[in-house]
Amino acid sequence: MSLDQQVVHLRHREGSQEGTRYIAVASGKGGVGKTILSVNLGRCLSDLGKKVLIVDADLGLSNVHLMLGLTPRKNLTHFFFGEATFEEILVKVDENLYFISSGNGILELAKLPRDQVLSLIRRLQELSEGSYDFVIFDTPPGIHEDTIAVVSAADFPLILTTPEPTAVADAYALIKVVNKECGLDSFHLVVNKVEGEEEGRKVYESIKLLTDRFTTAKVDFLGVIKYRKNLIRRIIDQDPFDRNFTGDVYNILSKMDLGIKPKRRSFWDTLIGRLFGR
């Protein structure tokens, strides 16, 4: 076990975990690194012995499977249209790491027939609760209902940005909308593609200035992921687990209280309430 892993492992043992924790990885702007962070979080947590499910919640344009180099025959879209059983869409990456691809046929849950969406969500709930330590949702870019719902329900609403001003503005906009519409007041921020810690901290300070002034949201800075010019080559090779990248991810995990108590209202009930207003 590397030093990074040991730190997270020891911290995690302090707070014993019972039940499933939900992580939402979201941004406002596209292309900031949500998918690569989701798969690396999944890999790092599973290497720590946690059982992890990654759900590709980018229902328009799924691409988790491309990064992992896996081509699932069936996905959420097939399940949704009755063309696959739930067992058929669950993909085993290794002993502790599983994922579900969304396919490209469902657009927005909030706009689809309520009964069908409810049955899909209840199946996901049955699958995850109690069986996985962590469920990670990789969300699509943009601020739409599904993303707001997943972020507002998560135990760890993890907002990702880069130092680019447009990405920072969109990260703030997402936090503001979820705070105002859902009353969520605790968020975690990660800044990707930075040259160093200092650059990320400045981005955090600029977002905090706005959230302190115009919202009731508290934003907790989880750290940075450095820009690595070789990463694109690894993604082309469908092996996105760069040792330096996972080092940054372990750093982020070491700042998360992974043994956190689950919210009083379950992730799934909050999600359904948010999507269908009850």
Ligand X SMILES: Nc1ncnc2c1ncn2[C@@H]1O[C@H](COP(=O)(O)OP(=O)(O)OP(=O)(O)O)[C@@H](O)[C@H]1O
Binding site for Mg ion (CB under 5 A): 34-35
Residues 6 or more apart whose Cβ sits within 8 Å of residue 92: 98
44 is a site residue for ligand X (CB under 6 A): no
Report in angstroms how near the CB of residue 95 gets to Mg ion at its nearest. Answer: 25
* Residue 276 in tokens: 């269908």
Indicate which single residue of 35, 77, 96, 211 sits in contact with ligand X (rule: CB under 6 A).
35
Burial class from Cβ neighbours inside 10 Å (0-12, 13-18, 19+) for residue 139 reads: buried
Report the DSSP beta bridge partners of residue 225.
192
Among 97, 231, 272, 275, binds ligand X (CB under 6 A): 231
Please give the Cα distance from 30 to 24 (Å, whole number): 15
Q: What phi, psi does 31 have (nearest 5°)?
A: 75, 15
* Nearest-angstrom CA–CA distance, 24 and 11: 21
Our CB check for ligand X shows the closer of 231 and 271 to be 231
33 binds ligand X (CB under 6 A): yes
- Which tokens is 63 given? 């691409």
Least distance in angstroms from the C-beta of 139 to Mg ion:
8
Nearer to ligand X, 31 or 183 (CB): 31
Spell out, one character per residue from 63 to 102, where the chain touches ligand X: x when CB under 6 A holds, - when not: ----------------------------------------
**Contact partners, residue 119, CB within 8 Å, separation at least 6:** none
CB atoms within 10 A of CB 172: 24
Is the Cβ of residue 38 or residue 270 nearer to ligand X in the bound state? 38
Looking at 93, 167, 222, 225, which residue binds ligand X (CB under 6 A)?
225
Binding site for ligand X (CB under 6 A): 27, 30-36, 58, 141, 192-193, 225, 227-228, 231-232, 235
